[in-house]
Structure 1
Amino acid sequence: MPLLGPADPLPHVPRRVLVAGNAGSGKSTLCGRIASARDLRCVELDSLYWGPRWTPRPEFLDEVLAFAAEDHWVTEYQYKLARPSLLTRADTVVWLDHRFPVVMGRLVARTIRRRAGRVELWNGNQESPLRSVFTDSGHILRWGWKSYWRNRARALALVDEVVVVRLRGQGQVERWLSGPLASVGRERAR
């Protein structure tokens, strides 16, 4: 399968899209923008996975399987349990391959903003206290730091299985959204 860049035409109209990238790369935001542009159902996997008090929900995988069976959707490529089922159905992966300093800067800013504003995330949960970054090995900032290179390798390995669009930096994201994603299907309709 091809590894496409931000200006490469898409070989098909995307109907089932996965957005891959590290924590803080903008996966959820891009999912929402793709959903709006292509009229796709968007599901944020964190909302299915996390129950109250940051406990995993037992119905997570069943809900992912039902969602993946639908014909038109976009979601993040995350959660080891969910990835195989989603990848089997996906026709396109958009890989947010931003530089490490960019991703970590976004993740730190997002974490501070959410914590300071006591933003409710999924099912009543809030970001962990910032001080717990030193004591909690699962803190989102430590997770983002530890998983960056592993997530890059995982996304690159998808090239053999599905069409992958690699976007490096926000400029390329904007170029792809207004270019190949916006135009795919229009030329066929003429």
Structure 2
Amino acid sequence: MNRVNVVGTSGSGKSTFSQQLAAKLGSPCLEMDALYWKPDWGEPDDDELFAKLQVALEATTSWVLDGNYTRTIPIKWATTDTVIWLDYSFSRTLFQAVRRAFRRSLSGEELWPGTGNVETFRKSFFSTDSIILWTLKTYRRNRLKYEKMIADPQ
């Protein structure tokens, strides 16, 4: 287990699990969100994201990669030797997403160094860009997607 991708719905605990696993393996932990988000919540185009991901994955011989971003699967799974799917119940996942959003909105912590991106109470709980709303909308879809992928012998 040298190149691991941890996947799951927002709020499933990917970041926490990935950091702990990376520490145990002595490997760097790479976070897809850190590669994706630009300052002021800017979003890269696919070419920019794919290039950043490729550079990050090639920078070391082992890593734990935290995150989904389905369109990046051909790049990240080309060299991934293990995929870990965190598949917790909807209630647990939603609880964890709400708890994290609340904690982050209170702390005002910058999520990814150099971006200035922080989760505010308004953005987390009263916005169409809410991570909680995202969790509600994507939980079932992600579960079906990963069930299908697991069933696929390729």
Equivalent residue letter for 2:121: P
Partner of 1:96: 86
Which residues in structure 2 correspond to 1:1-190 (within 5 Å)? Answer: 14-57=1-44, 59-69=48-58, 70-122=60-112, 123-130=115-122, 133-134=125-126, 136-159=127-150, 160-161=152-153
2:28–2:64 contact (8 Å) kept in structure 1: yes
Given residue 35 of structure 2, which amino acid in structure 1 is its aligned partner?
L
> CA distance change for structure 1 residues 89 and 75 in 2, over 3 Å: closer, same or farther?
same
| Greater alpha carbon shift after TM alignment, 141-150 vs 57-66 | 57-66
Q: Deviations over 1:49-103 (max 9, x none)?
A: 1111100145322110122344311112411332221122211111111100101
Deviation at 1:153, TM superposition (A): 1.7
Q: What is the CA distance between 1:137 and its match in structure 2? A: 2.5
Q: Which structure: larger Rg?
A: 1
- Structure 1 residues 66 and 131, CA gap change in structure 2 (3 angstroms): closer
Is the CA contact (8 Å cut-off) linking 2:4 and 2:64 kept in structure 1?
yes
Unpaired runs of 5+ residues, structure 2, are: none
Alignment check: 8 A CA contact 1:48 1:57 kept: no
CA distance in 1, matches of 2:123, 2:44: 26
Letter in 2 for 1:152: R
**Structure 1 segments unaligned to the other structure (5+ residues):** 1-13, 163-190
Of stretches 46-55 and 66-75 in structure 1, the one that deviates more from structure 2 is 66-75
| Shift in Å, 1:131 | 6.5
Contact map agreement 1:77 1:83 (CA 8 A) in 2 = no
Q: Which residue identity lines up with residue 75 of structure 2 in the other structure?
A: S
More strand by share: 1
Runs (4 or more) in structure 1 with deviation over 6 Å come to none
Give the aligned CA root-mean-square deviation in angstroms.
1.9
Q: What TM-score, normalized to structure 1?
A: 0.71
Query: SS state of the match for residue 70, structure 2?
Result: coil
After superposition, what is the alpha-carbon deviation per residue over 1:1-37, rounded to whole angstroms, capped at 9, x for unaligned?
xxxxxxxxxxxxx111111111111101111111111
- Between the two proteins, the alignment pairs up a number of residues equal to 148
